[in-house]
Structure 1
Amino acid sequence: MQYIDKIKEIVRLLKESQKTLALTGAGISTESGIPDYRSPQTGLWEKHDPIKTASLSALKKDPAQFYAINLERWTAYNNAKPNPAHYALERLEKTGLLLGVITQNIDSLHVKAGSNRVWEVHGHLRTCHCMSCKAEHDFSNLAARFKGGENPPRCLKCSGILRPDVVLFEDRMNEDFFQATQVISGCQLLLVVGSSLTVYPVAGLPGVAKQIVIINKTPTPWDEEAAVVINESAGRVFRDIMAELGEQLPGELGNTAENH
């Protein structure tokens, strides 16, 4: 099937589906300047062992090293801007063709793009909390304390160590994940965007959907089960999907994406 025929088929599936969701991974955010995790040579986990650097045990064992390795990268995530793929999913939700987005990303770009229904199954970087007294703080407070020389950043109330509200390796899944497993029940069409579909339990979610479409630069374990597979950048594909639908992205705001 030629590329343009795949775009037309995705649009047909979108129009016919009564319940469509998107499942997004790191690949949707690369055009916003955020590196993905598993691409050969360039993926973040090619450079760092996540169990040694981004796990709950790493945080507890050496919180200062944990923040020295991770915080600059996370702060850059918070400075990134949505790209055309994020805006397209927001627009599909507004037009009623998409129920919402289940995302593995912690970068808040779906929220920034204006999507209303977003299940952030690996958490986010908007808030943090104290590991001792559980007091909640803005993530910006954690970042500012670290930038001011406080490592590890500590709670203003009890001096306990702060941690971001993300799901680290070895953490239990969060409430958004359990909500997502309920929301996806009865899903007729799942748009998988920028996910390698190798990280469980999230990688098992496509098995619930009646049909899946995969938009990812590299192959995934679910490709043979998909109605359509496109190995292209998410931004290009969604620009073409929206054009086929006769929809324009808001001011092509994706062109303002910053690199970090």
Structure 2
Amino acid sequence: MVRPTIHKTHQDRVQAARDKHRRHYLKCREVILAKRRQVRQEKKACQVNDLSDDEDEPMETLQDCIAMVKYAKDDFMTHIKAPRRFFNLLVDEYSKTMPDPELYPTGSGDRSVFERAITNFEDFLDRANRGLDGILQMCGVCDKWRAAEGICKFMREMIGMVEDILLHLAEGGDGELAAAFIEDLFAKTCMVSIAVLMHDQRDMLKTFLSAFKIARSGSVEEQDDFWENVYSHWFTTWPERTVHFADIPDDQALSGLQEALLAEAIRCRR
């Protein structure tokens, strides 16, 4: 039997493939990221053969192991300062390398911005892992090991967040990153209560890519004007009622609680 045609156009097939890849990534994210880190660590081990004697010297006491984790954590936090602001600055740095989509529609920015961030994070994580392994060998799974593991887990999650950005770039270039970044801001400000944008919504956000690049490197006032324009277009096309109460017909009255929630959503947006 011939398989029926589901997607009639090339664009539909491409989008369906991206959606399938995204679902697979979300389902198997931890396994995928673990394999990527293993490959990078093996590559780094082959390239770096001249470690200093201090790095090769084993840690002799539990306090040495704890200090190793603490110093790695302190240096890591000094490097990123505030996670949210760090990622904003990272996207700012990348946006300055993004070509004009009207002149170079298939071009993309310098992805090494994110690759360097991952490399720096992994250096901190490698140091913390040395201390973590030492604690495990000396004390087993104890409170000190759990505390150190929590620090290492936070570093791994930060690496995973940067890898997520690279995934968006691999799937759809700068337009995909811009849409993902705007989608994330919508979710953080509770302006859109959906986890994944619909195709037409994502396409609409991509039309703001040129303005997005200018606003990210502009003043605070220019950034405010940009978001006001985006929100105006968004909620003109998809009003708050349609977004938050999609299952309620437009001609059906909302309850008192629903009206209050809708009013609060509009107030927060404005």
Query: Which structure's relative contact order is higher, taking Cα pairs within 8 Å and 6+ residues apart?
Result: 1
TM-score bucket of the superposed structures, by smaller chain? under 0.3
Whichever structure has more helix as a proportion of its residues is 2
Whichever structure has more strand as a proportion of its residues is 1
